[in-house]
Amino acid sequence: MKFLLTLAALVAAVPASAAVRSGHATAEWVASSATYQASKPILTAIRLSVDPGWHAYWVNPGESGMKPGIEWTLPAGWTAGPVGWPVPIRFETGGLAGFGYVGEVLLPVTLTPPAGASGPVALEAKVTWLTCSDDACVPGEGALKLELKPGEPLATAFEPLLTKVSAALPKPVEGLALEVKDDGKKLSLTLRAPSGTDSAAFEVFPATPQVLDSAAPIRFVKAGEAWTASVPKSEYLEGTPESLELVLTGGGLPHPATVVWRK
Amino acid sequence: MKQFFASACVGIVSLAAAHAVEIGKPAPDFKAKNVKGETVSLSDYKGKIVVLEWNNFECPFVRKHYGSGNMQKLQETYTGKGVIWLTVNSSATGKQGNLGDTAADKVSKEGSKATSYLLDTDGAVGKAYGAKVTPHMFVINKDGNLIYDGAIDSMNTPKPEDISKSENYVAKAVDAALAGKPVANGKTQPYGCGVKY
């Protein structure tokens, strides 16, 4: 019994990579489980803790900045799913509009072992980021190594936090649909939203870079059965956009939402 | 009070209108002192191809190109072909990148091969062009029209090892101007640290 408890303690002891401090943030790779089972997905996240007074950037960083980058080195057959981007905040860096994060942000990633996975494994994530304040920008980077062992699921201390963050990631909502029309200097957005929500109260973020002017507020007004917003184009948009993804929160939505329009 | 309000409004309007530069249109003339104390105007270089390079030696995205020698090499290559290369520093006094009293020394230490390094401490040139970040690059053709406004190259990273993997947009635009050919992609989103006006 004592041996089993010790083994369990050993296995539970490494649910995260070592923390790497670089630039004005500390990065860590944390996992919901220290053990894996073949073919069963494991929820993990890159945790970025940004120094007070500085911010890191979203998938669409805005007028300046740089989105975090992750390069995976995984054992044969292992896959890493797309990185999840929690709802950002808007800020200005020396007058340039941007989107990103302050304090602590967790970027969820699902890892899936192959059917024949066996033995202890080491996974590596090379993460790069940019932290800026009004006065300066400092990049950061870290090679994060996560070690997992095969075994029965063993929840780590990070599991509740990862589940919570993952649940709060923007996801599609039934009844939410977006249309985009080219209106010359502006884009005309038409939104259909499910009953019980108030589109005028949505906080809206453009997830697709270089389509909408980052500094422009996006506010929907009622137009019959739908809602419309007229937003200036990004000065870097060439011609008409191919697609536009919006992240929406508030206004009675069941959870943060994502809605995509494609040409 | 009324006069203050009116001039404050003008201030806001002129900032918004600052991005008055447009690809295919004449590049606005400007006047600034370089690190040698000489007054330099864009109109001094009528009939020449001119590159404007917004600079802040403390910005990691600028260091990417100076630490590697990439920017100096571009300056040398193109000035050798008769192109005028003007580096512009719009950092306000006391803000990051401002070179203070020893500007000439610092610029020389960086191995700059630019035609001139301009001190735009009051930000007038930066605002006239809508310079947003460092490095932000502009290319003006022999007719005085703006043919490129944007990033130095295609990869928004601070890593010198990415330079050889990137497409250099400035070289592409200047080469096109030298050959009398049009520039395919005149406007791109520049990357870097915000200009410290």
Q: Is residue B5 part of a domain?
A: no
Number of domains forming the structure of chain B = 1
- Residues A70, A138 share a domain: yes
- Residues A181, A162 share a domain: no
Tens digits of pLDDT across chain A (263 residues): 555 555 554 444 467 899 999 999 999 999 999 999 999 999 999 999 999 999 999 999 999 999 999 999 999 999 999 999 999 999 999 999 999 999 999 999 999 999 999 999 999 999 999 999 999 999 999 999 999 999 998 889 999 999 999 999 999 999 999 999 999 999 999 999 999 999 999 999 999 999 999 999 999 999 999 999 999 999 999 999 999 999 999 999 999 999 999 99
Local structure of residue A212 (DSSP, 8 states): B
Q: CB of A64 within 8 Å of any CB in chain B?
A: yes
Q: Is residue B145 part of a domain?
A: yes
Q: Along chain B (197 residues), what's the average pLDDT of each consecutive run of 10 residues?
A: 44 45 97 98 98 98 98 98 98 98 97 98 98 98 98 98 98 98 94 98
**pLDDT at residue number B13:** 38
CATH number (domain holding residue B183): 3.40.30.10
**pLDDT at residue number A153:** 87
Q: Is residue B101 part of a domain?
A: yes
Number of domains forming the structure of chain A = 2
**pLDDT at residue number B14:** 38
Distance to chain B for A178, nearest Cα, Å: 26
Q: Is residue A4 part of a domain?
A: no
Q: Is the Cβ pair B60, A139 closer than 8 Å? A: yes
Q: CB of A132 within 8 Å of any CB in chain B?
A: yes
Of the residues B62, B193, B195, B197, the best mutation for testing chain A's interface (the one with the most A CB atoms within 10 Å of its CB) is: B193
Q: Look up residue A157 and give its two tokens.
A: 């201390």
- Non-local (6+) Cβ contacts of A96 within 8 A are A62, A63, A64, B132, B133, B194
Last residue of a domain, one of A134, A167, A200: A167
Q: Which contiguous run of DSSP H or E holds residue A9? A: helix A2-12
> Of B96, B132, B157, which has the smallest distance from its Cβ to A136's Cβ?
B96
Q: Is residue B7 part of a domain?
A: no
**pLDDT at residue number A15:** 79
Q: CB of A128 within 8 Å of any CB in chain B?
A: yes
- Residues A121, A187 share a domain: no
- Residues A146, A230 share a domain: no
> Of A95, A138, A139, which has the smallest distance from its Cβ to B194's Cβ?
A95
Q: Is residue A172 part of a domain?
A: no
User: From CA B197, how far away is CA B180, in angstroms rounded?
Assistant: 35
Q: Is residue A60 part of a domain?
A: yes
Q: Is residue B134 part of a domain?
A: yes
Q: Which residues of B touch A138 (CB under 8 A)?
A: 60
Local structure of residue B45 (DSSP, 8 states): G
Q: DSSP assignment of A122-141, as one string?
A: EEEEEEEEEEE-SS-EEEEE
CB neighbourhood size of A161 (10 A): 16
- Domain span at residue A201 reads 177-262
Residues composing chain A:
263
Q: Is residue B15 part of a domain?
A: no
Q: Is residue A7 part of a domain?
A: no
Distance to chain A for B174, nearest Cα, Å: 20
CATH number (domain holding residue A219): 2.60.40
User: From CA A147, how far away is CA A6, in angstroms rounded?
Assistant: 18
CATH number (domain holding residue A128): 2.60.40.1250
pLDDT digits (tens, 9 = 90+) for A24-83: 999 999 999 999 999 999 999 999 999 999 999 999 999 999 999 999 999 999 999 999
Dihedral class, residue A94 (left if φ above 0, else alpha if ψ from -120 to 50, else beta): left
- Domain span at residue B105 reads 21-194
User: From CA B183, how far away is CA B190, in angstroms rounded?
Assistant: 17
- Residues A18, A136 share a domain: yes
Q: Is the Cβ pair B194, A138 closer than 8 Å? A: no
- Residues A140, A20 share a domain: yes
- Residues A186, A149 share a domain: no
**pLDDT at residue number B184:** 87
Last residue of a domain, one of A128, A143, A167: A167
User: From CA B74, how far away is CA B128, in angstroms rounded?
Assistant: 25
- Residues A142, A101 share a domain: yes
Q: CB of A14 within 8 Å of any CB in chain B?
A: no
Q: Which residues of B touch A210 (CB under 8 A)?
A: 189
CA A29 and chain centroid, separation: 14
Last residue of a domain, one of A145, A167, A189: A167
- Residues A158, A53 share a domain: yes
- Residues A44, A100 share a domain: yes
- Residues A186, A111 share a domain: no
**pLDDT at residue number A14:** 60
- Residues A158, A181 share a domain: no
A99: nearest Cα among A84, A116, A87, A114: A87
Strand order in the sheet with A20-22: A20-22, A25-31, A42-50, A104-112, A79-80
